[in-house]
Amino acid sequence: MIKAAFFNDTGAAGETIEKIYGPDRIKEISRLTDLYPAVVGSANIETHLPKVQDVQVIFSTWSMLPLTEAQLDRLPNLKAVFYAAGTVKYFAIPLLKRGIVVMSGAAANAVPVAEFTVGQILLANKGYFRNTREYRQRGGDYLQAFRGRGNYDSSVAILGAGQIGRKVIELLRPYHLRVLVYDQFLGGEEIAALGAEKVGLAEAFARGDIVSNHLADLPATHGTITGDLLSSMPPNAAFINTGRGRTVNHDELIAVFRARPDLFALLDVTDPEPLPPGAPLWSLPNAQISGHIAGTIGGEVARVADFAIDEFKRWSAGEPLRYSVTLEALERMA
């Protein structure tokens, strides 16, 4: 039977193996493998390493401990890591260089982000967020409160067609919307195959009734979304950010949105994060800020655990993995 172990620390949001996998999934892994009885973390790894030298598979989640070269030398039988969370960039490169398979649950995490984004797109096109504020201010005079253009034939610009951007496009298909995509790495034919139109960054902002940001968090993308781009948005447009705050120049966003009260910002991420008390964004009337809730939360963690277990089953059966990561892809993101 394949020998397995959980390697993990407690995450910043309190993520633990027990919380993410839950008793039923831990029991299933125990049935499928010869599972080591303790969770190995940075505080106890030196105690447990002599006892897990024969481990072939690691299961983990948010806050997987990055293993040093010396520690990896003491895990000579390690063949694969199944990671029930998103980015693996912070720990995976040394493993991949040794030929160890690394699976990411980013595709599972993309689902709730895309669902959250689509919900905001549909509501923003109806003018919901601005309407609720103005309706209250006008004492319930619903005829005077702002109403959006609606969802029929409106233009939605998606910035970045990675796993989340593609899932947003997929979920938007039942609606009669014009979907525009800005992505530096995809050609027009590839984007057309997704049911969308390839546009440049400036055109995405100039045409999008809604602009939804899913750009990767890379040094090259920091500050990509400038005041000039935001100021070019059509009247009554909305900007949604469920990506990363660092891709937006927030000082310029604040200046533009103060000058353009017809625009609305829906920000689930900011820079810095968390946003400190007294930050100007808090008092921006045409911005709604949520606390990084678009991604996997609550019961949704079961999805990423299921993805990891399903990938393990494929690996153990000798089948191709669907969500393994490559060294080349991670090195491009460095």
Q: Record the pTM.
A: 0.90
Distances (CA, A) of 156 to 43, 238, 254, 319: 47, 10, 22, 38
110-289 shares the fold of 3-108+297-332: yes
Contacts of 265 (CB under 8 A, 6+ apart): 238, 239, 240, 241, 253, 257, 284, 286, 287, 288
For the chain, give the percent of residues with pLDDT over 70: 99
Q: Give the pLDDT score at 332.
A: 66
| Tokens of residue 38, six digits | 């303790």
Evaluate whether the domain defined by 110-289 bears CATH number 3.40.50.720: yes
Task: Give the homologous superfamily in CATH for domain 3-108+297-332.
Answer: NAD(P)-binding Rossmann-like Domain (3.40.50.720)
- pLDDT < 50 regions, the chain: 334
The answer to whether the peptide bond before residue 274 is cis (omega within 30 degrees of 0) is yes
Q: Give the pLDDT score at 333.
A: 60
The 3-state DSSP class for residue 4 equals strand
Q: Give the pLDDT score at 218.
A: 87
Q: Give the pLDDT score at 138.
A: 81
- Per-residue pLDDT reduced to its tens digit, 186-199: 999 999 999 999 99
C-alpha closest to that of 79 among 103, 57, 51: 57
Q: Give the pLDDT score at 143.
A: 83
- Per-residue pLDDT reduced to its tens digit, 64-123: 999 999 999 999 999 999 999 988 999 999 999 999 999 999 999 999 999 999 999 999
Domain boundaries, the chain: 3-108+297-332, 110-289
